[in-house]
Amino acid sequence: MTQPLLKVDDLSKSFGGLAVISEVSFEVPAGGRLALIGPNGAGKTTMFNLLTGVYRQDVGTVTLDGEVIDAYPSRARIGLGMARSFQNIRLMPHLSVVENVMLGQQSRARGWRDFVAPVSAFGRSAAYREAEDLLASMNIETRPGDVVATLPYGIRKKIEVVRALAAKPKLLLLDEPAAGLNAVETASLRDFLLQISETGVTLLVVEHDMSLVRSLCTSTVVLNFGRKIYDGPVSKVHEDPQVLEAYLGPRHAGEKEAAHV
């Protein structure tokens, strides 16, 4: 049996007396595309923060590529192959596209020599060229020297993903990548993420746009009030009674389920 790239075992987290994540387990296979969905307040962002080391879980274990990473801080987890983008863009708007991508390389720095490697008094450094090559391979509709603040929102969303890719992750966590995008931009983002998936990067996506989830991901985990209520193929999630109740309420869920009979 193939070992999953990410394995989450019985993860729980409380803040004060409030249980935000309760005994959640799931796996993401290497090369997979899994959506983590649920109503507002279900615990999705908290789960991302637990996986990336922003929070420490109260109970449970997170394993990445066969290694338990519970003791590793956020920066160390990036070095192990886990990178993340955010719902709210965190690019440096006054810097160029290529300079923002180069910031993603810093997570791979092992000492001061690596940290200052992008700085060169003799033209473009190796790090600069690497960032340019990465941008070129992703076919983003912009130039490396363009200032980020001048670019459309949809392009900036893609640049943030490329900056995460500069860390050379095995697993890329995307927090609502389609937030704020129109239908055309969302379709373009989907194709962009499929292109990334084809390079072998595993995707774990939090997203409310179910059209994107259905066209991008093959499997999904659904949370509600911090508990897992579904773990299976995307194609079946809309038929699950617990999922219908979580999104529609018990009365409307019953009506929809009866309509399918």
Alpha carbons within 13 A on the beta-carbon side of 153: 12
Encoding tokens for residue 29?
A: 């296979």
Overall average pLDDT of the 91-116 stretch: 74
What is the SS3 assignment for 85? strand
Residues 62 and 187 in one domain: yes
Overall average pLDDT of the 87-115 stretch: 74
Tell me which H or E stretch contains 10: strand 6-15
More confident residue, 199 or 1: 199
CATH number at 15 reads 3.40.50.300
Instruction: Examine residue 63 and state whether it is found in any structural domain, yes or no.
Output: yes
pLDDT, position 142: 86
Residues 261 and 173 in one domain: yes
Instruction: Examine residue 86 and state whether it is found in any structural domain, yes or no.
Output: no
Name the pLDDT band for 1 (thresholds 50, 70, 90). low
Instruction: Examine residue 57 and state whether it is found in any structural domain, yes or no.
Output: yes
pLDDT, position 113: 52
Instruction: Examine residue 105 and state whether it is found in any structural domain, yes or no.
Output: yes
Residues 177 and 131 in one domain: no
Cβ pair 221, 26 in contact under 8 A: yes
Across the chain, mean pLDDT equals 87
Residues 157 and 200 in one domain: no
Query: Domain range for residue 13?
Result: 1-81+169-261
Cross-strand pairs, 61: 9
Instruction: Examine residue 186 and state whether it is found in any structural domain, yes or no.
Output: yes
Name the pLDDT band for 120 (thresholds 50, 70, 90). very low
Residues 162 and 174 in one domain: no
More confident residue, 232 or 111: 232
Q: Of 121, 143, 166, which residue constitutes the final position of a domain?
A: 166
Q: Is the pLDDT of residue 258 over 50?
A: no
Q: Any idea of the CA torsion for 122, 128, 129, 132, to the nearest 10 degrees?
A: -140
Q: What is the pTM of this model?
A: 0.86
Residues 174 and 189 in one domain: yes
Residues 155 and 179 in one domain: no
Residues 69 and 99 in one domain: no
Count of structural domains within the chain: 2
pLDDT single digits (tens) 69-90: 999 998 899 989 999 887 667 7
pLDDT single digits (tens) 15-64: 988 999 999 999 999 999 999 999 988 999 999 999 999 999 999 999 99
